[in-house]
Amino acid sequence: MSECNPRDLARCIDHTLLRPDADERSLHTHCRQAVRWNFYAVCIAPCHVEAAAAALAGTDIRVCTVIGFPLGSTFPAVKANEAVLSVEAGARELDVMINLSRLKSRKYGEIEREIAGITQTLPPDRLVKVILETGLLDDDEIRTGCRIAETAGARFVKTSSGFTAIGATLQAVRIMAETVGGRLGIKAAGGISDTAAAFAFLDAGATRIGSSRSLDLIGVRETE
């Protein structure tokens, strides 16, 4: 898990750029912001991993990408291959979308095998976060998703993709913290847009924040 010190909020944040229309200019601006303001990681689409890794070479800013995003309903082998290719391109952290259909259908063994097929294939220094999409789950399903992620070898659970109507909630983070807090990291993401909200999620048990509005969270304004 990352050592998140709320006194240095930027080091708790994955600076996120997952807009489908994000171009190379946006990516380089994003990486420059990450270095300037010392965010923990940039979270970008797989197609941008190689360029982000090059832009951030020589810094301690991590490259994070998303796998099976944003629906999670593709074949397990496709997710596993995407994860391997992303690591080869320079990703150090992978936010893997859980298969919600399987979770809702209570096919827990299939989900565990899918996630384990990723965690067991990657180098041990690569960190896997499982995105639960908590806004579409009830409390028991959130707990179940957390336990499956832990058993399968993930090191974080994450609330949301940011692509559904309900993003991170304090209640969901509290449930996640009660279930795996202290053993797994917890990333709150989805609709977190100001400093007060960021600290509220950290107080609820989050150990990392994901946001496309990272500059707002740390209270700065920047022009290119």
Instruction: Provide block-wise average pLDDT over 10 residues at a time, the chain (224 residues).
Output: 71 97 96 96 98 97 97 97 98 98 97 98 96 98 98 98 95 98 96 95 97 95 65
224 inside domain: no
Catalytic residue check, 79: no
In a domain, 201, yes or no: yes
Specify whether 107 is catalytic.
no
User: Domain of 40: which CATH number?
Assistant: 3.20.20.70
**Residue 44 — φ and ψ, nearest 5°?**
-140, 165
Residue 1 lies in a domain: no
pTM here is: 0.95
| Active-site residue (options: 14, 79, 129, 187) | 187
In a domain, 117, yes or no: yes
Please give the tally of structural domains in the chain.
Answer: 1
Specify whether 95 is catalytic: yes
- Asked whether residue 163 is assigned to any structural domain, the reply reads yes
Residues spanned by the domain of 75: 6-217
Catalytic residue from among 158, 194, 203, 216: 158
Residues 95, 129, 140, 203: which is the catalytic one? 95
Give me the long-range contacts of 35-38 (CB less than 8 A, separation at least 24): 35/59, 35/61, 36/222, 37/10, 37/214, 37/215, 37/218, 37/220, 38/8, 38/10, 38/11
Residue at 223 is within a domain: no
